[in-house]
Structure 1
Amino acid sequence: MTGGTEPAATTRLLLARHAETVWHAENRYAGSRSDPDLTERGLRQVEELARGAVAAGVDAVVSSPLRRAVRTATPAAEALGVELLTVPELREADFGELEGRTRAEADPELVRRFVADPVAHPFPGAEPPAEAAARVSGALRAVAERLPGHTVLVVGHSTGLRLALCSLLGLPVAHYRRTFPRLENVAVTELRLPADPSHPAALLSLNRTLPARTADTPQTSRS
């Protein structure tokens, strides 16, 4: 093996948030107990993601089992001619009493405490963020172990993926909102994840739209 090449046991994960839903414009919290439909724009986004997955050399597609994620991932799997694998642990966090509501509709003091430290002060009835981080990051580790050396498109959810990124990169989970303020719909965040959990993950890109250039694609001249 020549210097600088990726180890065979390292998996390239292209993490994508699901396409736009009808709750997107209102900024309503859609967690594991809610599953709003995709918008017309969202339906266009899933086709764009499918084309990008082909261009990026994806060879496996994994999704949260929630409908909005499956509808986002299915066209990519079909375009690639692979079976879509759904992983229950990739589901979004449960937002408790905030589920289906906007922050403006919630108790202002609960919102203030949540924004200051979401790990110490989750909304009543919500899944603890540290537990959601462990669940989703563990699912991504399992994907890397199952598909070593592959390029995998993983369709998940904004909060779950941001929490997992912090966990896998050794960053404070309590800072996930500041470290990763936003994951755009169907934008891809590229992560290199060794199958061996003792080896660190590497973040190569954030919120990149496929088929934009990825780390493995030579940059073409813009002249």
Structure 2
Amino acid sequence: MTSRLLLVRHGETEWHAENRYAGVTDVALTARGMAQGADLGAWAARSGVDAVACSPLSRARLTASPAALALGLAVEVQEGLREVDFGWGEGRTIQEMADEDPEAVRRFREDADSGAFPGSEPVARAAARSTEALRDLAHRHQGRSVLVVAHNTLLRIALCELLGLPLGRYRRIFPRLDNGAVTEIEIRGTETALRSLNVPPAPPPAPAPPPPPAGD
């Protein structure tokens, strides 16, 4: 049976404005990030979602919580969905790293696998654990829809692995996933289909206008 996974990057964090690599650092959501979680929850409540899963990091859990609350579900926390550890890059901007070691940044931009930041989690390892978590969710929720809240880099790597695309080019193939946006995939056995990419959750329909007053 086919399982529908709705992959979502968590809401905006306090490091978003400076584009710092959060990685495994537990960075708080901004007020806008909390609002993105609320919007996602309202969308999930009318979108046929059957289960909610997320990364253990608080920014993902807080983004997923409104959806779980709206649906009356418990959030399934999946360790395999934790963001990539960026090692030397944790908490830094790309410009800060380029100022210190421009060659390291050049290698990373050219191939994020072979040129991964020093001390970071290997891309292949992140791909293996993330796809294992997603396939497990698909297997346990066959024929159902699962909302999965995780992280920008981890989800892009997982998409490349599931779709048979080069892991080292995940930054070029999928430049970014927007905060709170939904990417839909279907998993059936070992096959994965990409149905939509980076779509903002639709707002609720506007209420119908009141009928005109009755005539005399």
TM-score, scaled relative to structure 2: 0.91
Preserved CA contact (<8 Å) 1:118 1:174: yes
Preserved CA contact (<8 Å) 1:56 1:211: no
1:1-223 equivalences in 2 (<5 Å)? 9-32=1-24, 34-106=25-97, 107-194=101-188, 196-197=189-190, 200-211=191-202
TM-superposition CA deviations, 1:34-65 (whole Å, max 9, x none):
01110011111110000111121111000000
> Could you tell me which amino acid in structure 2 is paired with residue 70 of structure 1?
R
Match of 2:211 in 1: none
In the alignment, the residues of structure 2 paired with residue 193 and residue 53 of structure 1 have an alpha-carbon distance, to the nearest angstrom, of 19
In the alignment, the residues of structure 2 paired with residue 85 and residue 211 of structure 1 have an alpha-carbon distance, to the nearest angstrom, of 24
In the alignment, the residues of structure 1 paired with residue 49 and residue 148 of structure 2 have an alpha-carbon distance, to the nearest angstrom, of 10
Match of 2:213 in 1: none
Preserved CA contact (<8 Å) 1:16 1:186: yes
In the alignment, the residues of structure 1 paired with residue 54 and residue 8 of structure 2 have an alpha-carbon distance, to the nearest angstrom, of 9
- The ranges of structure 1 where at least 4 consecutive aligned residues each deviate by more than 6 angstroms after the TM superposition are none
TM-superposition CA deviations, 1:168-218 (whole Å, max 9, x none):
011111110111001000100000011x22xx20000001111379xxxxx
Preserved CA contact (<8 Å) 1:55 1:211: no
TM-superposition CA deviations, 1:144-172 (whole Å, max 9, x none):
01110110000000000000000001111
In the alignment, the residues of structure 1 paired with residue 46 and residue 197 of structure 2 have an alpha-carbon distance, to the nearest angstrom, of 18
In the alignment, the residues of structure 2 paired with residue 95 and residue 30 of structure 1 have an alpha-carbon distance, to the nearest angstrom, of 8
- Identical pairs, percent: 56
> Could you tell me which amino acid in structure 2 is paired with residue 175 of structure 1?
R
Structure 1 unpaired stretches of 5+? 1-8, 214-223
Structure 2 unpaired stretches of 5+? 205-216
In the alignment, the residues of structure 2 paired with residue 87 and residue 179 of structure 1 have an alpha-carbon distance, to the nearest angstrom, of 25
In the alignment, the residues of structure 1 paired with residue 45 and residue 187 of structure 2 have an alpha-carbon distance, to the nearest angstrom, of 21
> Could you tell me which amino acid in structure 2 is paired with residue 182 of structure 1?
R
Question: Residue 201 of structure 1 aligns to a residue in which SS?
Answer: strand
Q: What value does the CA root-mean-square deviation take over the aligned residues?
A: 1.1
TM-superposition CA deviations, 1:84-127 (whole Å, max 9, x none):
10000000000001000101111211110000011111111000
Question: How many residue pairs align between the two structures?
Answer: 201
